[in-house]
Structure 1
Amino acid sequence: MAQAIAALTAAARTTRTIGAGTDNEHTEPADFGEIACHVITSVAANLGDVDTLLAGRPGSWEADYVRQIVHSTTPEEELLTWRTEPVRLHLDVEGVFYDFGLEQLWDEESGQAIKHEQDDSLTEEQAARADAIAAQIDRLWEQDQAAYREAYLASIRQELTRRGLTIEVEAIDEPADALTWEPFTDELHELARKNTPLPMTGEAPDWTEGTPADSLRRAGLPYTARAQDAI
């Protein structure tokens, strides 16, 4: 609270130049009403909406005035254009891939590849190929996660652009409970999970007949097949 008061007090003490470069050039005190409204509106935008801003005591008279300030400063549909903070989302790619059945697919095929490369009946050439396939399966797993992360962020940026917003986006690896929950970021995350193309197909996850992993099997794109094609 003390820091906020100090910052607003400093802003109130500033001056502005009127009629710069003209015979009527002069200075006036800053328009503190505008400053205060701007600050309050930007804070609401940073939190996602005015209801989240006022969640502590939404029915108070103070909350009513703050709500009026925000709604008078900007139309509700344009509130997020006042945001000054980047959009921060928790992204656990392994967790997403687990939900999609992809981690299980990789784990199963990686285990099979390791078992195959340990087969003593393989010729030297066959053993070398088995080793290469096993290593490639693990490389693909890492590459898929990195590619999905980039595609996820691109999907978020595309949605923000569609809404006319120019906001920085950050994917945070910290646990989800380390971030403050916001309806806005939760909505973006769910949209991204639904629409982000998978690196294996270049298309959004297919849930029509089972999990996305099932759709990869049907398309002939499990890890072993992709590894074999890559070496």
Structure 2
Amino acid sequence: MPHDMPINDPLVTTLVALSAVARERQLTDTGERPFDVADELAEILAAVNARVGGTDELFAGQPATKRTELITALIAAGTQRRPGPDRGLHEATVFRAIVAVTDLARQSVAYIADDGRSPFPFADELTDALDSVVTRIGGIAELFAGQPITPNTTTIAALLGSPLPNTLPTYRSEPVRVLLDVDDQFDNFGLLDHHERVVRGLWSAVVDESLPNESRQRATASYHALQADFTAEKAAYADNYINTVPQVAQDLDLHAPIEVVVRYRHDPGAPAVDPLTQQVTRALTQATIVPATGQAPRDHPGRRPADLPGIALLTGSGVHRRAEPSPTRRTQPRRDSGTALDPCTRRASHDHRPDGLQ
């Protein structure tokens, strides 16, 4: 650090205040901090900038550098942020940090020399303080533990000259509860439309009194067989989805257990959505084998399952599915379930790691 630090030195008080902000990181039930360091630092800098009169005053006595550019970006982000949830006692911690960083900024201006330069340029002083905070709490990975990667975390990592860890999957410890709405998935796959087109054709034959009874009976049998087959197909997909969880957890380096909740999207008990559940859902959707095709969506990028040829062939005696090819991935979920899942069935996975939750 560029100068001696008595206890009332603004750099010391800034270090202490920002360390307190960083250490208050209780996780929510979705595994993320309610008040993450990156966004709070942006808010703190925005408040300091307003107090001292703008960036011209904040950076007085120092040339424009990459550090001033990054801090300016944080100020802009903090200025645009809407008020977050009630921080309770944590609000006082944030306020003390605003006061300390304001004193640090005013020190830079107070000691501008005759050559117009400050011996304590704010951008460098703040970066020194942040670097010491990171060292105190155990590194940048610990600083961002439990937080999603955002533009603000990226900016702070660049300011510190440190690589940004993939914190969201690595540090979450709470279970990741993901929703599986099978009807919604099949709709996105185009399979629901495909099924309904075939059903409508059969139903028109079932109710057509001009057809011979034998033809109507065959159509009725085919209709019921198709409905039963589609129900079994959805149940098999749900089983495949759940059985793909360990593979996806390993691919994402996720240490938390994943719970799959089979419900309709708008049910009151459907799990909440957060950035990690979205990431896990996308990965599971791409990796899960669709029974109608015998392939996972990632095996045919750019095409929906319903767009593949021969997903179902309708004959006079019912629906016959084409032969299913072997999956191309190392994990082969079972496809032998014929039991329909109740929409509210909750299926929980086990932690995929041999040593349990860390």
Tell me the TM-score normalised to structure 2 length.
Answer: 0.42
- CA change 1:134–1:82 in 2 (3 A) is same
TM-superposition CA deviations, 1:70-105 (whole Å, max 9, x none):
71798x568756655322112222122111111111
Instruction: Give the superposition deviation at 1:129.
Output: 2.0
Q: Structure 1's 209 and 160: CA in aligned 2 closer, same or farther, altered over 3 A?
A: closer
Conserved in 2, the CA contact under 8 Å of 1:113 and 1:134? yes
Identity %: 24
1:127 to 2:198 alignment: no
Residue 32 of structure 1: aligned partner: none
Deviation at 1:227, TM superposition (A): 3.8
Q: 1:110: how far off?
A: 0.3
Return the offset for 1:55.
7.3
Of 293, 304, 322, 1:201 maps to: 293
Report the secondary structure of 2:40's partner residue. coil
Note the C-alpha offset of 1:191.
1.2
RMSD over aligned Cα, in angstroms? 4.0
Counterpart in the other structure of 2:36: 54
CA contact (8 A) 1:48 1:183 kept: no
Secondary structure of the structure 1 residue equivalent to 2:291: coil
Distance 1:103 1:164, change over 3 A: closer
Letter in 2 for 1:58: E
Alignment of 1:192-231 (within 5 A): 192-205=284-297, 210-215=303-308, 218=309, 220-222=310-312, 224=314, 227-229=318-320
Given the superposition, is the C-alpha separation of residues 47 and 229 from structure 1 closer, same or farther in structure 2, using an over 3 Å criterion? closer
Are the structure 2 counterparts of residues 80 and 95 from structure 1 closer, same or farther at C-alpha, using a change threshold of 3 Å?
Answer: closer
User: Contact conserved, 2:176 with 2:277, CA < 8 A, in 1?
Assistant: yes
Larger Rg: 2
- Aligned counterparts of 1:73 and 1:228: Cα–Cα separation in 2: 54
CA contact (8 A) 1:86 1:170 kept: no
The residue that corresponds to 1:169 in the other structure is 259
**1:185 corresponds to:** 277
- The one-letter code matched in structure 2 to 1:47 is T
Q: Please tell me the residue identity of whatever aligns with 1:211.
A: R
Q: Helix, strand or coil for the counterpart of 2:192?
A: helix
- The separation in 1 between residues aligned to 2:283 and 2:196, in whole angstroms, is 27
- Which residue identity does 2:250 align to in structure 1? T
Q: CA deviation at 1:209?
A: 6.7
1:135 deviates by 0.6
Q: Which runs of 5+ in 1 are unaligned?
A: 1-36
- What amino acid maps onto 1:212 in structure 2? P
How far the C-alpha of 1:139 sits from its partner, in A, is 1.3
Select the structure with the greater relative contact order (CA < 8 A; seq sep ≥ 6). 1
Q: What amino acid does structure 1 have at the position aligned with 2:193?
A: Q
The aligned residue for residue 6 of structure 1 is none
Note the residue ranges of structure 2 that are not aligned, 5 or more in a row. 1-22, 45-92, 98-129, 146-164, 322-358
Paired letter, 2:320: D
Residue-pair matches, total: 187
Q: Matches of residues 1-231 of structure 1 in structure 2 within 5 Å?
A: 40=25, 43=27, 47-49=30-32, 54=36, 58-59=40-41, 68=137, 71=142, 83-162=172-251, 163=253, 165=255, 167-173=257-263, 174-175=265-266, 179-205=271-297, 210-215=303-308, 218=309, 220-222=310-312, 224=314, 227-229=318-320
TM-score (norm. length: structure 1): 0.62
For 1:129 and 1:112, how far apart are their aligned partners in 2? 13
Cα distance in 2, alignment partners of residues 40 and 223 from structure 1: 56
1:47 and 1:53 in contact (8 A); partners too: no
